[in-house]
Chain A
């Protein structure tokens, strides 16, 4: 073991030394002029049309009708996990200590998104809101509830919003999982969720 550690350290020193020797003179880090990306667009409408482009479904609903909408979209689900108090449809309880392998047969997960990005329909989902990291991926279908006021123009704005967070795990999710690896035919439902419904409240 000691031998391996020593070798690893040599790799580090050798690489850093070689970079020092070979790198060009310091070039400045460019400032980002975000005004160049300004657009006067309808954030919500653009967000909605981008969700459709990436294969998701989006509905604007009242807080009171969330569960009715979910039931209409997904009528025949039995193993449901809800990690938000905005929906009471959950049938399976989980906490941080739940073995992620136990989620193999989850039909539907209902979680909250922290923010949305208008330019690409992506929604920021954190480990805190999904409780178990694998949940939004392993579930057969996924519902994300998002507040309309939390939609931002582009990714640069989004990173400003999430700058002050507890960094453990987070993911931008844009649509259901998909692949075009067989003759470029787009098939929705690869390894992650087979469908995504976004409920804007």
Chain B
């Protein structure tokens, strides 16, 4: 199914779409306010981009340096080429500790690797502890946004889910009550957990430490209460020096939610005495993306979600319409590299307005990469006949001025006088759910010529 088809599903509930659209735009506005408060914000973005570009050009060395520093702190480092290896490594660590109850804080990587079903099949209970993640886990859905995983759910839906799974009372969707109940429910899980799995926001080469950012405190509750901590990271999470956190932590939360920083920015360097800390470094297609000159900058991404919040398509189509772990504009340039056929409609889920690139804290040229993926896709993937023939015709018409003029005239004539069914039908995607513009008498060419004569 294509993005457009899935977006049509999402658009069936108009009031929900309107809410979704506004809620995300509000987050985008908070981002603007917060960014404008920072002296030297644009320079900060420039630095973020420059540091990440250096990282990619020296990634192997930084990873080796990171590994050796982590090891000297007593941290055990593992490497996984793909999702399967990642899941096996995590599972073998849990086995060794006979861990049956695992609490997990937000990690898009473990989503990408489908770790939960893998562990659940082995009889291990995995509880997502970020509230939004817990909500979608109970609903048996994937997150629809990387920072706001349950943004597609109404509070009434959460109320019903909690009644069913946590035994809460009907509250009509009272957020305070529901958060309070979730706190109790998850506190019990933290107290009983054998192991904690977290993602990694930044891995620092020159110290061997990892930094995890949360607002809820769930990563810390999990890690500090269990005897083993497994931190899973993609290879691109490396930054060269600890001081660079001073750049990225200034960018991350402001771009994500407009907060000046997340509530907790936790720096894990060594395990607490008597406990273990593991880091799993994962490739899973990233080195392949690194080989693609036009697309490697997508690996700069620090997962703030700003491109989603600003995207006019994402806001009106919802994260699930992308059918990929990372939705939105950034997901649309990452996913074709993983499976061109499956995700071939995603680079077209954009107006190429460029807003994503404008807000990206590490200056990824997202809209240009979307355009470049389109060029790759039309070469390699079969396009719908209608689109292909229209494009061919358009090519001919645009190359011949006389024909173009005639086409323009007939279109204006048709829009003015043709019956509705001729304009608004399946052949005209632009007529779907929107009115075509009212036709004024002159076209630009005629108007310009007249103006010249008069002037």
Q: Which A residues lie at the B interface, using CB under 8 A?
A: 4, 7-12, 14-16, 18-30, 32-33, 36-39, 50, 53-54, 96, 100-101, 104, 117, 119-122, 127, 132-134, 137-138, 154-160, 163, 167-185, 187, 189-193
Mark B407-443 against chain A: 1 for CB-CB distance below 8 A, else 0.
Answer: 0000000000000000000000000000000000000
A23→B81 contact, CB < 8 A: no
Contacts of A29 in B (CB 8 A): 50-51, 54, 240
B313 interfacial by beta-carbon distance below 8 Å: no
Q: How far is the CA of A56 from the CA of B43 in the complex (A)?
A: 30
Q: How far is the CA of A187 from the CA of B240 in the complex (A)?
A: 36
CB contacts under 8 Å to A, within B177-198, are 178-180, 182-183, 186-187, 190-191
Which 4 pairs of residues, A with B, have the shortest CB-CB distance?
A192-B217, A120-B260, A190-B216, A134-B224
B114 interfacial by beta-carbon distance below 8 Å: no
CB contacts under 8 Å to A, within B116-171, are 129-132, 135, 148-151, 153-155, 158
Given A160-B243, A178-B216; A26-B58 close (CB under 8 Å): yes
Distance (whole angstroms) from the CB of A42 to the closest CB of chain B: 14
Which stretch from B264-272, B341-349, B362-370 is at the chain A interface? B264-272
Contacts of B57 in A (CB 8 A): 23-27
Q: Which of B46, B54, B89 meets A8, CB within 8 Å?
A: B89
Distance (whole angstroms) from the CB of A45 to the closest CB of chain B: 14
Q: How far is the CA of A68 from the CA of B190 in the complex (A)?
A: 34
Q: Which B residues lie at the A interface, using CB under 8 A?
A: 23, 26-27, 38-40, 43-44, 46-47, 50-51, 53-54, 56-60, 63-64, 73, 78-81, 85, 88-89, 92, 129-132, 135, 148-151, 153-155, 158, 173, 175-176, 178-180, 182-183, 186-187, 190-191, 207, 209, 215-218, 220-221, 223-225, 235, 240, 242-243, 245-247, 249-250, 257, 259-270, 272-273, 281, 283, 287-288, 290-291, 293, 296
B contact face: mostly helix, strand, loop, or mixed: helix
Q: A8-B78, A133-B220, A187-B176 are in contact. List 12 more A-B contacts (CB 8 A).
A: A15-B235, A30-B51, A30-B54, A122-B265, A154-B246, A174-B263, A177-B263, A178-B263, A181-B131, A182-B175, A187-B175, A189-B179
Contacts of A170 in B (CB 8 A): 266-267, 269
A155→B250 contact, CB < 8 A: yes
Given A159-B242, A181-B150; A18-B283 close (CB under 8 Å): yes
Q: How far is the CA of A178 from the CA of B264 in the complex (A)?
A: 10
Q: Which of B59, B190, B272, B293 meets A133, CB within 8 Å?
A: B272
B43→A179 contact, CB < 8 A: no
29 contacts between A and B (CB under 8 A): A15-B81, A16-B63, A16-B64, A24-B57, A26-B54, A26-B58, A30-B46, A37-B38, A37-B39, A37-B40, A39-B39, A54-B259, A138-B224, A155-B250, A155-B261, A167-B270, A169-B266, A169-B269, A170-B266, A171-B265, A175-B263, A181-B130, A181-B132, A182-B155, A187-B176, A190-B131, A190-B216, A191-B217, A192-B221
A54→B243 contact, CB < 8 A: no
Q: How far is the CA of A96 from the CA of B274 in the complex (A)?
A: 11
B178→A159 contact, CB < 8 A: no
Distance (whole angstroms) from the CB of B47 to the closest CB of chain A: 6
Contacts of B268 in A (CB 8 A): 169
By beta carbon, the residue of chain A nearest B267 is A170
Q: How far is the CA of A163 from the CA of B267 in the complex (A)?
A: 13
Contacts of B270 in A (CB 8 A): 167-169
Contacts of A138 in B (CB 8 A): 221, 224-225
A159→B243 contact, CB < 8 A: yes
A19→B269 contact, CB < 8 A: no
B287→A15 contact, CB < 8 A: yes
Given A37-B40, A172-B264; A179-B50 close (CB under 8 Å): no
Tally inter-chain residue pairs, CB-CB below 8 A: 268
Distance (whole angstroms) from the CB of B198 to the closest CB of chain A: 13
Given A23-B56, A23-B58; A167-B269 close (CB under 8 Å): yes
Q: How far is the CA of A23 from the CA of B183 in the complex (A)?
A: 45
B216→A191 contact, CB < 8 A: yes
Q: How far is the CA of A184 from the CA of B230 in the complex (A)?
A: 30
Contacts of B259 in A (CB 8 A): 54, 174
Q: How far is the CA of A163 from the CA of B221 in the complex (A)?
A: 26
Given A171-B264, A181-B131, A184-B23; A32-B186 close (CB under 8 Å): no
Contacts of A100 in B (CB 8 A): 224-225
Contacts of A127 in B (CB 8 A): 272
B40→A137 contact, CB < 8 A: no
B60→A16 contact, CB < 8 A: yes
Residue in B64, B158, B267 with the greatest tally of chain A CB atoms within 10 Å: B267
A169→B218 contact, CB < 8 A: no
Contacts of A7 in B (CB 8 A): 85, 88
Residue in B46, B187, B224 with the greatest tally of chain A CB atoms within 10 Å: B224
Distance (whole angstroms) from the CB of A6 to the closest CB of chain B: 12
By beta carbon, the residue of chain A nearest B149 is A181
Given A22-B288, A22-B291, A171-B265; A32-B225 close (CB under 8 Å): no
A120→B79 contact, CB < 8 A: no
